[in-house]
């Protein structure tokens, strides 16, 4: 018997292929002493669900997984699943360069009731395509009851999942999709041949229009962690062919991308704080103290668009 009580997941009949909309890459709350703040997860999940997101991706890049201990990652996933309460699916990121740790995290996600797991390609050390496939395939096989989504982020990982390698992963029936955090549409195009049997998600907020034109129906957005309602409205406008509305909203999301330094956790948290939701400091200090103090605020147009009662936040630790 599997951890979830289901013997095997099939991408041919499972729920993942029907997912569309904004999958928000969540932030991680910390308290004033830099400890994981599980009490802060619930209100934050409520905020995201109220913003109309289609799913939560928990424990990934925006969640600062590289700065979390294994037990913290497990607690974060467990708390997020409980807070979501079935309102939206929770996709748990369990990636780790150490395969043993990735397998442990996957089992913990299954016990917690996560709806799917995702894993970034092995990072830091150079890996061959064969090694990448073996690493991800082992995780998928370990939890056949859960849909598995590969996660490609070459700029951060230093390794890239090629479309041919993803095709090899599809030998596993529970490999249900891929998230592509890549710079250009040309890098996405080779994977679109797998859709709609497989969910192909873009992780680049700057190419939504072109991605939708290729047939894309779901995106993963770290900037939606601050403006879930704006991101959800914009993607829906592109998918529904509401071009005028999409063109009106696109510069507003682009502004958030600029303010957040392309989705860095610290700046995102500082922006969220000005919306009245304090998730504490960021462990990943991607800006100097001076740069954090000099950050600009949102424009009046952006504040109006999402009812942002903005007031400058105190200099933080972005």
Q: Which residues are catalytic?
A: 151, 179
Alpha-carbon span 263 to 176, nearest angstrom:
26
CA torsion 115-89-182-52 (nearest 10°) is 180
Find, among 27, 23, 156, 152, the residue nearest to 91 by Cα: 23
Tokens 């939708």 -> residue: 212
Burial of 252 (0-12, 13-18, 19+ CB in 10 A): buried
Q: Using an 8 Å Cβ cutoff, are 241 and 213 in contact?
A: no
Return the biggest CA–CA distance within the chain.
55
Q: Using an 8 Å Cβ cutoff, are 304 and 56 in contact?
A: no
Alpha-carbon span 284 to 66, nearest angstrom:
9
Q: Which residues lie across from 152 on neighbouring strands? A: 180
Alpha-carbon span 141 to 173, nearest angstrom:
9
- What lies within 8 Å, CB to CB, of 163 at 6+ separation is 190, 191, 193, 194
> 252: which 2 tokens?
């507003």
Q: Using an 8 Å Cβ cutoff, are 42 and 77 in contact?
A: no
Q: Using an 8 Å Cβ cutoff, are 211 and 188 in contact?
A: yes
Tokens 């630790």 -> residue: 317
- How many residues in total does the chain contain? 318
């Amino acid at each position: 018997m599997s951890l979830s009580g289901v013997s095997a997941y099939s991408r041919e009949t499972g729920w993942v292929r029907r997912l569309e909309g904004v999958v928000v890459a969540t932030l991680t709350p910390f308290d004033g002493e830099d400890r994981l703040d599980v009490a802060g997860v619930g209100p934050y999940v409520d905020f995201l669900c109220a913003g109309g997101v289609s799913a939560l991706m928990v424990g990934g890049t925006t969640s600062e997984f590289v700065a979390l201990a294994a037990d913290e990652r497990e607690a974060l996933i467990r708390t997020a699943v409980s807070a979501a309460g079935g309102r939206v699916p929770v996709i748990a990121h369990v990636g780790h360069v150490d395969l043993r740790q990735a397998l442990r995290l996957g089992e913990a996600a299954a016990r917690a009731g996560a709806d799917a797991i995702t894993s970034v390609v092995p990072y830091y050390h150079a890996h061959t395509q064969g090694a990448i496939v073996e690493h991800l395939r082992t995780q998928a096989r370990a939890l056949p009851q859960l849909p598995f989504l590969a996660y490609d982020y070459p700029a951060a990982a230093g390794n890239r999942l090629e479309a041919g390698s993803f095709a090899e992963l599809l030998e596993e029936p529970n490999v249900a999709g891929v998230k592509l955090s890549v710079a250009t549409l040309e890098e996405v195009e080779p994977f679109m041949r797998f859709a709609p049997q497989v969910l192909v998600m873009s992780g680049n907020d700057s190419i939504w229009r072109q991605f939708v034109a290729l047939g894309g129906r779901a995106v993963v957005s770290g900037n939606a962690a601050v403006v879930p309602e704006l991101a959800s409205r914009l993607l829906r406008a592109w998918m529904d062919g509401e071009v005028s509305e999409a063109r009106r909203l696109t510069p507003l999301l682009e502004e958030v991308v600029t303010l957040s330094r392309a989705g860095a956790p610290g700046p995102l948290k500082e922006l969220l704080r000005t919306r009245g939701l304090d998730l504490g400091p960021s462990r990943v200090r991607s800006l100097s103290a001076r740069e954090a103090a000099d950050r600009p605020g949102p424009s009046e147009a952006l504040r109006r668009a999402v009812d942002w009662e903005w007031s400058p936040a105190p200099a933080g630790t972005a």
